[in-house]
Amino acid sequence: MEAILLQILNGLDKGSAYALIALGLTLIFGTLGVVNFAHGALFMIGAFSAVTLSRLLSTSYTVIDESRTDFLGNPLKVEMPYLHDWFGPEFGQAIINWSVPLAILFSIPIMVAVGFAMERGLIKHFYKRPHADQILVTFGLAIVLQEIVKAVYGANPIPTPAPPAFSGSFDFGALIGFDPLQIMYPYWRLVYFAFAILIIGAVFAFLRFTTFGMVVRAGMADRETVGLLGIDIDKRFTIMFAIAAVVAGLAGVMYAPINSPNYHMGMDFLVLSFVVVVVGGMGSLSGAVLAGFLLGILESFASMAQVIEVVPGINQIIIYLVAILILLTRPRGLMGRKGVMEE
């Protein structure tokens, strides 16, 4: 029982990331009808905006501390962040430590700008082109974005720690009545899961309960009629693209402490997220979220030592295997709608 619970918990953080990326992909596909292969790159840009903010905040100058000496006997050189000067050492350090959550605010304008630029500058011209062309041009864009990040930040992963308050693990088992020290779970992963639920809830609520969301849903169902009613649906869809970009970006920001950002993280997640979207059903938002969590948890179960002993290598291929099975038995995915991408 403990083992099962532990695997479910372990699958949640990856599942959250899959669900958030797949949600954005489905939003873009549902509204604009575009298959966006550059969505993983948006996730990566989000993660790197966290890196950028943490670097910006810890910008420092060198002071010579006469009271201490290094091992050669020279006065010690100390890196002094500007924030320590401005806000005092304690509060300044606290801001630096909390750079990842702060990056949420920092990344939103970046992601909105990137989203707008992508949609208006490139994807707009591909509405009428075949899906293959859309896939190819966004694939090219993904390569370009990835290489730019590589040129700026280098090829190595950049560790980006979570705030100290959330470092370490807590005893989840003791909390719900199991033996203590059986189920240890890192705080930050719980934060990530809660954050993902919050974002997913916010997107669904936005679509369900606001006038804007209603118009967008109407546009997803019948774009032409909504246009004939005198509503500028293209503008709303552009905004939805930016929202999808923000969702992917925030997923990336919060993922930075879990997995140190590197330039190819976007591509790694993209391939799996596409599988997730297809399993969930092209065009179904709830399907994407459900499939994201399901596949994340399945992957974590497949990595259990007992399972690998029986079926070696299953942890590497489980997601693809499930995708093949689902596509062959339920061609529209778990919750796919009729008539989406069936030509």
Partner 1 sequence: MFGLKGSDFALFLVVAVLTLAAPFILNPFPETSSLAQFNGGYPDLMQRFVIFGIFAIGFNILFGLTGYLSFGHAAFLGVGSYAAIWMMKLLTMNVIPAIIMSVIIAGLFSLVVGWISLRRSGIYFSILTLAFAQMSYALAYSVLTPITGGETGLQPKLNDPRILDAAPEGGRIPQANLFGLDMGESRVWNVGDWAFTFNAGYYVAAVVMLVAFYLSIRIFRSPFGMMLRAVKSNQQRMNYTGLNSKPYTLAAFVISGMYAGLAGGLLVAMDTQVGPERMFWTASGEVVLMTILGGVGTLIGPVLGAGFIKYMENILSKINTTVLEGWFAFLPDGAADAVVAVLGLFVGKGWHLTLGLIFMIVVIFLPGGLVEGGRRMFRGRDRTATRKVKSGQTPPTSKPAE
Give the number of residues written for the chain.
343
- The structure tokens 């609520």 sit at 205
Query: Is residue 321 part of the contact set for partner 1 (CB under 8 A)?
Result: yes
Instruction: Look at residues 189, 200, 164 and name the one whose alpha carbon lies nearest to residue 255.
Output: 189
* CB 82 to partner 1: min, Å: 27
* CB 110 to partner 1: min, Å: 21
Q: Binding partner 1 by CB under 8 A: which of 109, 140, 168, 201? A: 140
Query: Is residue 282 part of the contact set for partner 1 (CB under 8 A)?
Result: yes
Query: Is residue 124 part of the contact set for partner 1 (CB under 8 A)?
Result: no
Query: Is residue 339 part of the contact set for partner 1 (CB under 8 A)?
Result: no
* CB 65 to partner 1: min, Å: 36
Instruction: Look at residues 184, 191, 169 and name the one whose alpha carbon lies nearest to residue 256.
Output: 191
Q: What is the DSSP letter of 35?
A: -
Measure CA of the first residue to CA of the last residue in the chain; give whole Å: 45
Query: Which of 86-94, 181-189, 246-254, 325-333 is the region at the interface with partner 1 (rule: CB under 8 A)?
Result: 325-333
**CB-wise, 111 or 272, nearer to partner 1?**
272
Site residue total, partner 1 (CB under 8 A): 41
Query: Which of 106-114, 190-198, 237-245, 266-274 is the region at the interface with partner 1 (rule: CB under 8 A)?
Result: 266-274
Query: Is residue 304 part of the contact set for partner 1 (CB under 8 A)?
Result: no
* CB 99 to partner 1: min, Å: 27
Residue by residue, DSSP assigns 264-327 as THHHHHHHHHHHHHHHH-TT-HHHHHHHHHHHHHHHHHHTSHHHHHHSTTHHHHHHHHHHHHHH
Q: Within 13 A of 151's CA, how many CA atoms are on the CB side?
A: 6
Q: Binding partner 1 by CB under 8 A: which of 172, 195, 274, 301? A: 274
Query: Which of 111-119, 225-233, 241-249, 321-329 is the region at the interface with partner 1 (rule: CB under 8 A)?
Result: 321-329
Report the distance separating Cα 240 and Cα 333, nearest Å.
24
Q: Binding partner 1 by CB under 8 A: which of 125, 198, 202, 205? A: 125
Q: Binding partner 1 by CB under 8 A: which of 5, 112, 135, 190? A: 135
Query: Is residue 198 part of the contact set for partner 1 (CB under 8 A)?
Result: no
The per-residue b/e assignment along 5-29, b for 16 or more CB within 10 angstroms, e otherwise, is bbbebbbbbbbbbbbbbbbbbbbbb
**CB-wise, 48 or 188, nearer to partner 1?**
48
Instruction: Look at residues 13, 7, 2, 3 and name the one whose alpha carbon lies nearest to residue 187.
Output: 13
Query: Is residue 35 part of the contact set for partner 1 (CB under 8 A)?
Result: yes
Q: Binding partner 1 by CB under 8 A: which of 56, 80, 95, 327? A: 327
Instruction: Look at residues 223, 248, 48, 224 and name the one whose alpha carbon lies nearest to residue 138.
Output: 248
Report the distance separating Cα 307 and Cα 294, nearest Å.
17
Give the DSSP H/E element, type plus range, for residue 184.
strand 184-186
Binding site for partner 1 (CB under 8 A): 35, 122, 125, 129, 131-133, 135-137, 139-144, 146-148, 150-151, 267, 271, 274-275, 278, 282, 312-313, 316-317, 320-321, 323-324, 327-328, 331, 341-343
